[in-house]
Amino acid sequence: MKTKYALISVCIFAGFAHADDTPKNIIYMIGDGMGPAFTTAYRYYQDNPDTQEIEPTVYDAILVGMAKTYPDDDTFVTDSAASATALSSGVKSYNGAIAVDSDKKPVRTMLEIAKEQGMTTALVATSQINHATPASFAAHNESRRNYDEIADDYLDNEIKGHLPVDLLLGGGVRYFEREDRNLAEEFKQQGYQYLTDFEALPSLQTLPALGLFADKAFPFALDENPTRLEVMTNKALSLLQRTDNGFFVMIEGSQIDWCGHANDIACAMAEMDDFAKSIALAKAYVDAHPDTLLVVTADHSTGGLTIGSNGKYRWDTEVIKGVRQTAWPLAMALAKSTDIRQAWSESVDWGLSDEQYQQLKQAKQSEEPAKALYREVKDVINKQSYTGWTTKGHTAVDVQVFAYGKGSQKFVGSQNNTDIAKQLIEFIQ
């Protein structure tokens, strides 16, 4: 009998321990393309040069582990759809898959499970809201390229008679206001507020809501609004905190990846900064609401970024900080201008050497000056800052896992990206 009672006691206390580990709210943040080199580079980029210490970042403060990213094939290199499917459902799939398995059958996602449990759900992104990563949480499709069908799922994929997502913030007007189907109107008929003016976002006070603030994706942070994700994150958390049954929100720093594809380091660091500030808001939310868990990771790394290049033991952040525009608009400005140095000085705080001037001048004289200048502008900036890139695609490197708050200890160590999803789903169910 003593053994029996001891066993019962252990089970009871184990149950209490499990319940105590389970968060009420989950904030899941994905830095698209944000491999370890990006978070390291950001630490040096934001460092205060007037102090001897290299100050830690919010990423450093909550780092707990690493995750494998390979898809369900023999390539080892994932795309955002396969990795987001793994991160949303705990199921590995093929590149291009949106919450379907390798047989193209739908898999349940944590957002859908959260909705089944009566939680409030939200998706936030700086890409179009029906892009690969957010799509893999609330839609099911055999191809990430089927943008219209994915947008349709945000209405048609009902969970217990309700739409799957209570709050959507991002871009993608063209996919929701279509000639064949006006989804925006249908959302309004379902009681959603619909916003397209980003400046009106602070006035949003109730859910459900759909906010689409760009025809496709937002402009890059460096070119227009350096805090657009931070603003959306702040608004999302302020709305979600009013819910009674807990919430699940996925927030994506979408365009870190796009800057990596472009091999544009100034672009990448601006996106990393907006994402870091959004994480800081989420971390502060956890501090104020201890029943909340914050998990941050990446779907993969992009570009093969190296901090230092060409055999030089150096990386010049002041060069990068001096670039105030991404490469394409800078190239366009140079192509249109009659004075290369003058046009350059309007967007870059450091001057061109004679060699760099000749490099850009030659590009401007080519048959396609804008495209040639786009390539050479990046070459000049990368070489001047000693930034290296190995690819314009993705790489198979493990990515970092960050966690903070209730249940964060469950994500310590080396894990598969599917393990992150399985643990979050266990918390939600």
Residue of 80, 127, 136, 254 marked catalytic: 80
Cβ 301 vs Cβ 25: under 8 Å: no
Q: Cα(419)–Cα(423) distance, rounded to whole angstroms?
A: 6
At 19 the pLDDT is 53
Known catalytic residue at 80: yes
Distance of CA 114 to the CA centre of its chain: 20
Helices (H), 95-204: 110-116, 132-138, 147-156, 173-176, 183-189
Rounded Cα distance between 278 and 273, Å, is 9
Cα–Cα distance, 53 to 61 (Å, whole number) = 15
DSSP-assigned letters across all residues of 20-83: HH--SEEEEEEETT--HHHHHHHHHHT--TTSSS----HHHHHEEEEEE---SSS-----HHHH
Average model confidence (pLDDT) across the chain = 95
pLDDT one-digit tens code per residue, 386-399: 999 999 999 999 99
* Interval 140-168 mean pLDDT: 98
How far is residue 162 from each of residues 84, 114, 117, 398, measured CA to CA in Å?
23, 12, 12, 37
Average pLDDT rounded to a whole number, residues 60-80: 97
Name the phi and psi angles at 170, rounded to 5: 170, -150
Q: Tell me the per-residue pLDDT of 46-58, one tens digit each, with 9 for 90 and over.
A: 999 999 999 999 9
- The pLDDT assigned to 21 comes to 86
Two tokens, residue 362: 């030659």
How confident is the model at residue 10, as a pLDDT?
A: 37
Please report the pLDDT score of residue 194 as a whole number.
Answer: 98
Which domains are present in the chain?
2-303+401-428 (3.40.720.10), 315-388 (1.10.60.40)
Rg (CA), the chain: 23
